[in-house]
Amino acid sequence: MATTLRMGSALIYQNSLGHNFRLPHPHGPHRFVCKSMTKTTPDATSVDLRRRSGNYQPSPWDHCYLLSIKNKYASEKEVIARDMLKKKVKKMLDVTKSHLEQLELIDDLQKLGVSYHFELEINDILTNFHHENGNYTWKGDKEEDLHATALKFRLLRQHGFDVSENIFDAIIDKIESNRFKSNNISSIISLYEASYLSTIADTKLHKVIRPFATQQIRKYVDGETYNMEIREKAIHALEMPYHWRMRRLETRWYIDAYEKKHDMNLFLIELAKVDFNIVQTTHQEDLKYVSSWWKDTCLANELPFVRDRIVENYFWTVGLIYEPQYGYIRRIMTIVNALVTTIDDIYDIYGTLEELELFTSMVEKWDVNRLDELPEYMRLCFLLLYNEINGIGYDILIYKNIDVTPFLKKSSSLKQVGRFMQNISSGSKVV
């Protein structure tokens, strides 16, 4: 029986969460407490009336509703089924196949959202491709070889291998001399997707191949075709290339698209569906955690001029890193993002120049003992910032023996924070 696939529900399944919970350390850093956060005095109220407002709408997400979400489609039974399917798919990777079959299998695993289960196997396969075919180029004789070359180029670059755009010189010569003839739109789509893995130095990819491939795909879509599977794939590529898409949303789309393929593999589609539900459980538990954190901060109540967008902040982190083992990173990035947007609203909307200069000085000196110098509405924000950054730094120092607090205090790029936190979590070298 086909597995049911759902988006938007969540059962607490501890084995899928593992170490993702961030629990307070019994001997953690002292958290300073702001004892009084009363509403404004009459004099302050007259000042507040002259302040600007962002006119932000209330959050459409109710905290109690988020906590009540259940996911009956991700139980222990499904986890056991997933693990069995993983073994079967691993055997598929181990079986000797043609290079094109291996590449297409890796591509499917990636787009179906389950490639993180087979990182070692995939890396070994791609490493062998890179070593054995360091100088491979498309000779211009077989269109299926063009598809394989373009797919290999994209996958290798996605996994950090150095591959030259010169492998496409043969097709570039044919394009520039108007000698390229092809009815194989799948090869053209592969070429189109590969062009979006170009760097600034890759002038051939984005000046020759991408415009040509885009034009060919548009002609195909506008013309008459009876292959709706390929037509849907072409339209989807034109809307946005794979490299630019949010992986988790793309996975949900590709599961439906893959199931329609005439050569669909039953093990793969079942694994994708079961795993999607299990991973979604982890995401939903992350969301409950950050929503509870946000509610406990009282920022939305005490600072009504700031954006109440904790769900949107969390969704942004899933776009960067969805794998279940990185739950701690998503939670911390959501917290940092919420702090950044709060401070952004203080600077852009509410604070006076004098108040902002004082707040900036406080952050630069990182001195919580000067808390009373801040206006009352800024105290909660600074205290929360101080406690959270020090708490994150403490956790990482304990578990990774790396002091990241100076980095977090100075960082102005959340994407940079995300990459940094991912490297720490995976044990990668921090440079």
Q: Would you kindly state where each structural domain of the chain is located, as residue ranges?
A: 31-60+298-426, 97-264
Q: Across residues 91-110, what is the average pLDDT?
A: 90
Distance CA 282, CA 274 (A): 13
Q: What pLDDT score was predicted for residue 275? A: 96
What pLDDT score does 429 carry?
A: 39
Burial class for 310, CB neighbours closer than 10 Å (0-12, 13-18, 19+): buried
Residue 135 contacts residue 160 (beta carbons within 8 Å): no
- Check residue 51 and give its pLDDT: 75
Q: What's this model's pTM, rounded to 2 decimal places?
A: 0.82
pLDDT at 417: 52
Mean pLDDT of the chain: 83
Q: Which residues contact 62 (CB under 8 A, 6 or more apart)?
A: none
**355 — pLDDT class (breaks 50, 70, 90):** very high
334-353 pLDDT, tens per residue? 999 999 999 999 999 999 99
In whole angstroms, what is the distance from residue 93 CA to residue 53 CA? 57
* Homologous superfamily of domain range 31-60+298-426: Farnesyl Diphosphate Synthase (1.10.600.10)
> H-type helices in 95-240, by residue range?
99-111, 119-132, 143-158, 169-176, 185-195, 203-204, 210-222, 228-239
CATH class of the 97-264 domain in this structure: mainly alpha
pLDDT tens digits, one per residue of 47-99: 354 677 778 888 999 999 999 998 888 788 999 999 999 999 999 998 867 88
Single out the residue of 157, 122, 102, 119 nearest to residue 323, CA to CA. 119
Q: Tens digit of pLDDT for each residue in 161-219? A: 999 999 898 889 889 988 887 778 999 999 999 999 999 999 999 999 999 999 999 99
Asked if residue 328 lies in contact with residue 19, where contact means CB atoms within 8 angstroms, the answer is yes
Structure tokens belonging to residue 409: 């205090």
User: What average pLDDT does the segment 406-422 reach?
Assistant: 62
Give the pLDDT score at 124. Answer: 94
Q: Provide the terminal-to-terminal Cα distance of the chain, rounded to the nearest Å.
A: 49
Q: What is the pLDDT of residue 150?
A: 93
What is the rounded CA–CA span in Å between residue 47 and residue 45?
5
Q: What is the pLDDT of residues 282-326, one digit of tens each?
A: 999 999 999 999 999 999 999 999 999 999 999 999 999 999 999
Give the pLDDT confidence score for residue 409 in this predicted structure: 78
Is residue 203 packed enough to be buried (19+ CB in 10 Å), middle (13-18) or exposed (0-12)? Answer: exposed
**Cβ–Cβ under 8 Å, residues 342 and 299:** yes
Query: CA nearest 29: which of 403, 419, 331, 426?
Result: 403
